[in-house]
């Protein structure tokens, strides 16, 4: 009898200690998810990252590439459509982050129910503003973006993710840190971000496909998604990026050209299929299947160039911001560095979500 009582007490304690995430009430809001209509699968290109692997391996054989580090293959490429050409890059890069979050699981469920189309993102941003998120940004954009062509940037993406109960961190690289206006410190941080995901037993490999989320990179007038970094024999480095303004992937898509999703109606739910046709139950093996199915079919050689951006091109802009999914820890006051904390997870509890209503960033220099 006493043993049974102790078991009941332990069970009650575990239930009490169970963490409650903001996602629970966000995902329970069916009205919200009807408004946040899903991006059409035809607008997403899955499997690009595994197909880059043999390209960088071949470059290593030619003697120039020393190593390449790539983000999680959960990440799809998404290009701008006809209706958002010239203003939709912020939304498209946000959607690319969302493709990772849709397939990533935490606490037994996908971090995000589905990838939201542009009209849905605009409504989501206005909802976040109405709920008290980023009051300054709301004022700057006159509290309205729905059915407009207003650009969005890092703070708006941070705001939308926080509203959905998803953790992110903004890093400011506010000036060049190397010769010829180069951003060496930013390259250093990105390199460390990917390199620290590598197991000691695989360090001798040339190409590393990691489990790291992609990074949202913003400069004045444009944003892109960083999916990796390439180290060259001469000591130089290239960022590997998805640029939504570059439509170079059209030549090998199996489907028709991507459809515009601006102002689409709600079509999907959390039980919709993934971009490879699999259901939610099979998401855990998604990365494995991508690597198996696509690593043997490399991209045409002329399609690799648009992914690579060298330090000289990055130096054209003086200031950058990185939005990092998850938490970045600052231990510089103790002799450490800025580092990504994978143990923290992506989900916010209610107190953390409330605190993120005021958008903050971290100086990286």
> What positions carry a catalytic annotation?
89, 222, 243
Torsion angle (degrees, nearest 10) of CA 159, 171, 87, 265: -30
The C-alpha atoms of residue 143 and residue 122 are separated, in whole angstroms, by 11
Asked whether the beta carbons of 93 and 243 are under 8 A apart, the reply is no
Asked whether the beta carbons of 323 and 160 are under 8 A apart, the reply is no
The C-alpha atoms of residue 309 and residue 57 are separated, in whole angstroms, by 18
Helices assigned H by DSSP within the chain: 2-17, 23-27, 30-35, 48-61, 89-103, 118-130, 135-140, 154-163, 184-195, 286-294, 311-314, 350-355
Q: What angle do CA 236, 194, 75 make, to 5 degrees?
A: 110
Task: Tell me which H or E stretch contains 263.
Answer: none
Helices assigned H by DSSP within 62-201: 89-103, 118-130, 135-140, 154-163, 184-195
- Can you say whether residue 221 is alpha, beta or left, with left for phi > 0 and alpha for psi between -120 and 50 degrees? left
- Can you say whether residue 279 is alpha, beta or left, with left for phi > 0 and alpha for psi between -120 and 50 degrees? beta
Task: Tell me which H or E stretch contains 171.
Answer: strand 168-173
Burial (CB count <10 Å: 0-12, 13-18, 19+), residue 359: middle
Residue-level length of the chain: 365
DSSP 3-state assignment of 365?
A: coil
* Token pair recorded at residue 198: 């590598």
């Amino acid at each position: 009898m006493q043993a049974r009582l102790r078991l009941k007490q332990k069970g009650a304690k575990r239930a009490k200690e169970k963490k409650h995430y903001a996602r629970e009430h966000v995902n329970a809001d069916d009205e919200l998810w009807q408004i946040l209509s899903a991006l059409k699968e035809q607008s997403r290109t899955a499997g690009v990252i595994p197909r880059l692997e043999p390209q960088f391996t071949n470059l290593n054989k030619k003697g120039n590439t020393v190593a390449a580090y790539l983000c999680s293959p959960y990440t799809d490429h998404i290009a701008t459509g006809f209706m958002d050409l010239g203003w939709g890059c912020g939304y498209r890069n946000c959607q690319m982050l969302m493709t990772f979050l849709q397939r990533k699981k935490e606490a037994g469920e996908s971090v995000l129910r589905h990838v939201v189309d542009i009209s849905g993102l605009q409504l989501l941003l206005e909802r976040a503003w109405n709920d008290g998120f980023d009051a300054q940004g709301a004022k700057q954009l006159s509290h309205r973006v729905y059915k407009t062509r207003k650009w969005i940037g890092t703070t708006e993406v941070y705001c939308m993710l926080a509203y959905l109960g998803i953790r992110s961190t903004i890093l400011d690289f506010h000036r060049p840190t190397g010769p010829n206006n180069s951003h060496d410190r930013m390259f250093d941080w990105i390199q460390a971000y990917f390199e620290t995901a590598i197991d000691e037993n695989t360090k001798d490999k040339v190409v590393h496909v990691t489990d790291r989320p992609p990074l949202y990179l913003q400069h004045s007038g444009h944003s892109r998604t960083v999916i990796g970094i390439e180290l060259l024999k001469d000591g130089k480095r290239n960022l590997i990026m998805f640029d939504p303004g570059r439509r170079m992937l059209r030549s090998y898509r199996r489907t028709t050209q991507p459809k515009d999703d601006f102002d689409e109606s709600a079509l999907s739910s959390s039980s919709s299929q993934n971009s490879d046709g699999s259901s939610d139950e099979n998401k855990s093996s998604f990365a494995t299947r991508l690597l198996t199915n696509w690593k043997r079919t490399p991209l045409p050689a002329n399609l690799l160039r648009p992914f690579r951006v060298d330090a000289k091109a990055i130096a054209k802009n003086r200031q950058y911001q990185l939005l990092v999914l998850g938490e970045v820890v600052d231990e510089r006051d103790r002799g450490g560095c800025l580092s990504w904390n994978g143990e923290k997870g992506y989900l916010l509890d209610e107190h953390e979500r409330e605190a993120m209503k005021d958008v903050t960033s971290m100086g990286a220099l």
